Amino acid sequence: MPRKLSFSKALNEALHQSMERDENVFIIGEDVAKMGGDFGITQGIWQKWPERAYDTPLSEQAIIGLCSGAAALGLRPVAEIMFADFLGVCFDQIVNNAAKMNFMYGGEASAAITVRASTGGGIRCAYHHSQCVEPWLMNIPGLVVVAPSTPYEAKGLLNASIRDNNPVIFLEHKGLYNVKGEVPQDYYELPLYQAEVKRQGSDVTVVATMMMTDLALKAAEQLAQEGISVEVIDPRTLFPLDKETIIQSVGRTGRLVVVQEGPQFMGFGAELGAIAASEELFEYLKAPVKRVTSEDVPTAYAPCMEDFIMPNLDKVLRAIRSTVEY
C-alpha cells in the first residue's frame, strides 16, 4: 500500500533526512528545539541532534543575521520564522544581506539559507497571522520563493531548497499542514524553478498556488461535467518563475485565470496578467485575464468575514465560466 503522510510530517521527514545526509545543516528559530516548533514541524530533531537545533529569543532579525554569517562559513542553516507576517521584522537581513551575498562575492561566499515560514489565512488567525506575503519577496533578485501545495512536494522541494546555494524563502500554508498524501519514504528532491501541470486541459489555463491549487482542481473537475476543459498549473517556485510552462499553456488555450489567496492589487496574479499581455501572448488571447483573489483589506478574525474576503470555489467557477464564455 502507498504510504500517506500529512504535509507537516512530510516536512519533518525532509528535515530529518537532510540533517542525516549533511552535517552542515542545522535548525534555528523560536521554539524549534525542545518544543519542536509551534506547528510541530521540527519535532524530534533536538533529541537526535541537540548540538544542531537552537532555540532563539524573539528576534527574527537576529535569527536571519546569524544564518547569513553561518552560511558564509559554509553551513546550511534552516531557519523557522513562525509566521510569514513576521518576515517584515527581518526584511533588511533577507533583502540586503542574504539576497545579495552571491552577487557581492561572485559566488565565492555561500548564501545557502532556507527560511521556512507559515503563511496564509483560512484558519481564523486574524490580521497579523494570516497574510500572504509572496509579493513582498518576488521583487528581490537573489531570493528564491518556494510554495508547495502537496505533502509530496513539501518533502521534495524542502530537500532541494536546503541543497540549493541561494537563499530560499520556503512558504508553508497553515491550511495544508493536516492534508495527507502519498510521500516516498526515501530521500528525494524535486526540481526548483519548474512549474507542474496538475491537470491538462484545452479551453482555459488556471494558475494557482498552495491552498488555491486544490480549489482550482476541484473547479476543473466540476467544470468538466459542463464540457469545459481546464488546465491547472502550479508554479511551485514563485520566483524565479517558470514562465515558459505558463506561456506554452496559455498559447494553446488562449485564456488565463489566476487564483491567488492574497489581495488583488500588486499581487502574484498581476505579474501573470502582465506576462499574458506581453508580445509573446497577446495575439493568442481569446478573453481578458481574470484574477480570483482576496479583497484588498486585512484578513478578518470573524469566520464569516474571513470567508467573505477569501477566494472560494464559487468565485473560481464564476471566473472560469465567464472567461470561457467571453
Q: Which residues are catalytic?
A: 129
Q: State the CB neighbour count (10 A cutoff) for residue 64.
A: 27
Query: Please, which residues have CB within 8 angstroms of residue 67's CB and are 6 or more apart in sequence?
Result: 28, 77, 79, 98, 113, 115
* DSSP code for 93: I
Tell me how far CA of residue 277 lies from CA of 198, 245, 326, in angstroms: 24, 16, 17
Q: State the CB neighbour count (10 A cutoff) for residue 15.
A: 27
Q: Is 94 helix (H, G, I), strand (E, B) or coil?
A: helix
